[in-house]
Amino acid sequence: MSIVYIVSAPSGSGKSTLVTKLFETVRQLDFSISYTTRRPRGSEQSGKEYFFVSKPEFETMIAAHEFLEHAEVFGNYYGTARRFLRQAESHGNDLLLDIDVQGASQIKGKIPQAVSIFILPPDREKLEWRLRNRGLDSDEVIRRRLDTARREIENYEKYDYILVNNLLQQSADELKDIVLAERLLRSGAKPTPEEARRIKTAQACRLEQARERVQPILASFNPQEVK
């Protein structure tokens, strides 16, 4: 059976950068291209980053039960089509969903064995810097994204793995280790020394091990709580 990986992150944490790197190195992994009613940004093309559809088209798909999950994010609809999971299964591939916290909860409700990964920025200041440096958003949008980030981060306990994206290459390696370690653990095969190392790195990112690392990040988004 295919493994479903869910990746969520506050906007600007580096999720797209890390997911792109993951697909460069991991085979037999499909990306679920979501449907959305938001307008394309920059060079985005329908069928690549997203399928861009109208609100009535999206609502027709909801009525036809074509979505595994769907949610409203920043005033637009976003949804994961069931057919991507069917396709991945028929090809013997795993599937990665890049979805928000609401979508992640819905998927976990339907597919409890899905692997959920939450990517965090090192702190609020670095997140703001990355959003500004990316150069895609106005000051007003950045303020809104930072506010949303604070609320999203509070959901970190719903995820299996926490990945703090500080040094890019290290985070990319950790994401790959999590994905491959889950495959190894589910295969039941005896790990080689290299595979055992991967499993150890992945274990260090599990929620239970990561709580202490998350506290200062949360505090940086709630300055009044810093002691």
Closest CB to ligand ADP among residues 61, 210: 210
Q: Which CA distances in Å does 205 have to 165, 185, 219?
A: 12, 15, 20
Which window, 15-23, 32-40, 64-72, 79-87, contacts ligand ADP (CB under 6 A)? 15-23
β strands within the chain, DSSP E? 4-8, 29-31, 34-36, 50-52, 67-73, 76-81, 94-98, 115-120, 161-164
Q: Shortest distance, CB of residue 196 to ligand ADP, whole angstroms?
A: 26
| Residue 17 interacting partner from ligand 5GP, ligand ADP, none (CB closer than 5 to 8 Å by kind) | ligand ADP
Residue 78 lies near ligand 5GP (rule: CB under 6 A)? yes
Binding map of ligand ADP across residues 118-147, x = CB under 6 A, - = no contact: ------------x--xx-------------
Residue 15 lies near ligand ADP (rule: CB under 6 A)? yes
| Cα(99)–Cα(196) distance, integer angstroms | 29
Taking alpha carbons only, the member of 14, 13, 18 closest to residue 5 is 18
| Cα(119)–Cα(127) distance, integer angstroms | 12
Where does this chain bind ligand ADP (CB under 6 A)?
A: 9, 11-17, 130, 133-134, 165, 167-168, 171
